[in-house]
Amino acid sequence: MTLLGEKVVLITGGSKGLGFATALEFARNGASVVITGRGQEALDRAVAEAQGEGVVLSAIRQDVSVEDDCRRVVDEVLAGHGRIDVLFNNAGVLFAGTTWETTPEVFDLTMAVNVRGTWLMSRAVIPHMLERGSGAIINNCSVLGLKACPGAAAYVTSKGAIAQLTRATALELAGTGVRVNAICPGTIVTPMVADIFAGAPDPAAAEAFFLSQHPVGRFGTESEIAKACLLLAQDGMDFMTGSMLSVDGGWGAR
Specify whether the backbone of 98 is left (phi greater than 0), alpha (psi in -120 to 50) or beta: beta
- Tally Cβ neighbours within 10 Å of residue 55: 16
Please, is 253 exposed, middle or buried when counting C-beta atoms within 10 Å of its C-beta (0-12, 13-18, 19+)?
exposed
Q: Is residue 200 part of a domain?
A: no
Closest to 180 (Cα-Cα) out of 116, 128, 245, 131: 245
Sheet holding 135-140, edge to edge: 57-61, 32-37, 8-11, 86-89, 135-140, 178-185, 244-247
Domain-embedded: residue 193: no
- What is the Cα–Cα distance from 4 to 11, expressed in whole angstroms? 15
Sequence-ordered list of residues with C-beta below 8 angstroms from that of 128, at least 6 positions apart, any chain: 74, 78, 83, 84, 135
Q: Is 157 within the bounds of a domain?
A: yes
pLDDT of the residue at 1: 61
- Alpha-carbon gap, residue 73 to 227, rounded angstroms: 25
74: CB partners within 8 A, 6+ apart: 10, 84, 121, 124, 125, 128
Q: Cα dist. 120→78, 89, 108, 116, 182 in Å? A: 16, 10, 16, 6, 16
How far is residue 169's CA from residue 173's CA, in Å, rounded to a whole number? 6
- On whether residue 239 sits in a domain, the answer given is yes
Q: Is residue 244 a contact partner of residue 140, using CB atoms and an 8 Å limit? A: no
Size of the chain in residues: 254
Angle at which helix 40-52 crosses helix 17-28, to 10 degrees, equals 40
In a domain? residue 66: yes
| Domain that residue 234 falls in | 8-188+221-246
Query: Distance between CA 15 and CA 135 in Å, rounded?
Result: 23
CATH of residue 154: 3.40.50.720
Active site residues: 155
Q: How many structural domains does the chain have?
A: 1
Q: Determine the Cα–Cα distance for residues 218 and 41; give it in Å rounded to an integer.
A: 32
Provide the strand spans (E) within 100-194: 135-140, 178-185
Residue 195 resides in a domain: no
Query: For residue 88, is it within any domain?
Result: yes
Assess if residue 209 is contained within a domain: no
Contacts of 145 (CB under 8 A, 6+ apart): 156, 159, 160, 162, 163, 182, 184, 244
pLDDT by residue, tens only, the chain of 254 residues: 689 989 999 999 999 999 999 999 999 999 999 999 999 999 999 999 999 999 999 999 999 999 999 999 999 999 999 999 999 999 999 999 999 999 999 999 999 999 999 999 999 999 999 999 999 999 999 999 999 999 999 999 999 999 999 999 999 999 999 999 999 999 998 888 999 899 989 999 999 999 999 999 999 999 999 999 999 999 999 999 999 999 999 999 98
